[in-house]
C-alpha cells in the first residue's frame, strides 16, 4: 500500500513539475518579425537587401522596387481572400490558384531578366534558391515540432489516465 502511494506521489510530482516547466518557458519567437512592419517598409527592406546582394544601380532599384510592391500587393490580396473563405478550396480552385501563382512567377522572372544583367540575374536565381531551401528547412522543422508536441500531449494524457487508474485502485483497496 505504501509503495502504491509513493509511486502515485512521484507520478503526480513529476507531471506537475513538467507542466510548470512548460508554462514558464518563454516563447522563442512571436510570429514573423517582418509582420511588425508596414508593407511599404517591408518592400524597402527587401529592395535594400537586393541592392546590397546584386549591386543594383538607381534605375534597377526603381524598376525592381515597383515589381516588389506589385508582387507584395497581389500576395496580400491573395492571403486576405484566402482568410475570408472558410471552406477548403476545391481541386479546380486549387489548380487555378497554383496555375495563377506559377504564371506570376514566370512573369516576375521575365521582368527580372530584362532588368538585371546576366550576372545579377544568375545571382538573383541563386538567392531565390537559397531562400526556398531555407523556407523548406523551416517548414520541416515546424512539422517536426508539431509532431513532438502532439506526441507530448498523448504522453501527458496517457500519464494522467494512469494516475486516475492508480487513484481508483487506491480507493478500492481502502
Residue range 133-152, pLDDT digits in tens: 888 888 787 787 777 777 76
8-state DSSP, 25: S
For the chain, give every domain's residue range.
Answer: 57-123
**pLDDT for the residue 147:** 78
- In the prediction, which pLDDT does 173 show? 58
Query: 61: exposed, middle or buried (C-beta count within 10 Å: 0-12, 13-18, 19+)?
Result: middle
Does the reported pTM lie above 0.75?
A: no
Q: How confident is the model at residue 160 (pLDDT cuts 50, 70, 90)?
A: low
Cβ neighbours for 39, distance < 8 A, ≥ 6 positions apart: 69, 72, 73, 76
Pick the more confident residue, 173 or 66: 66
* Per-residue model confidence (pLDDT) at position 106: 93
* Mean pLDDT, the chain, integer: 79
- Half-sphere exposure in the Cβ direction for 62 (13 Å, CA): 3
Query: Is 40 in a helix, a strand, or coil?
Result: helix
Nearest of 85, 125, 78 to residue 104 by alpha carbon: 78
* pLDDT, greater one: 172 or 102: 102
Amino acid at each position: 500500500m505504501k509503495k502504491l502511494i509513493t509511486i502515485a506521489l512521484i507520478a503526480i510530482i513529476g507531471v506537475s513539475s513538467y507542466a510548470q516547466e512548460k508554462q514558464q518557458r518563454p516563447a522563442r519567437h512571436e510570429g514573423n518579425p517582418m509582420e511588425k512592419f508596414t508593407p511599404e517598409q517591408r518592400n524597402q527592406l527587401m529592395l535594400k537587401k537586393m541592392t546590397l546582394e546584386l549591386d543594383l544601380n538607381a534605375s534597377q532599384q526603381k524598376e525592381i522596387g515597383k515589381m516588389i510592391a506589385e508582387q507584395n500587393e497581389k500576395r496580400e490580396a491573395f492571403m486576405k481572400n484566402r482568410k475570408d473563405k472558410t471552406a477548403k478550396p476545391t481541386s479546380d480552385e486549387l489548380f487555378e490558384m497554383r496555375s495563377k501563382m506559377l504564371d506570376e512567377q514566370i512573369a516576375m522572372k521575365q521582368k527580372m531578366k530584362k532588368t538585371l544583367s546576366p550576372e545579377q540575374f544568375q545571382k538573383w536565381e541563386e538567392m531565390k534558391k537559397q531562400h526556398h531551401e531555407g523556407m523548406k528547412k523551416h517548414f520541416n522543422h515546424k512539422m517536426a515540432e508539431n509532431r513532438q508536441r502532439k506526441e507530448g500531449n498523448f504522453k501527458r494524457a496517457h500519464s494522467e489516465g494512469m494516475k486516475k487508474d492508480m487513484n481508483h485502485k487506491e480507493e478500492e483497496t481502502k
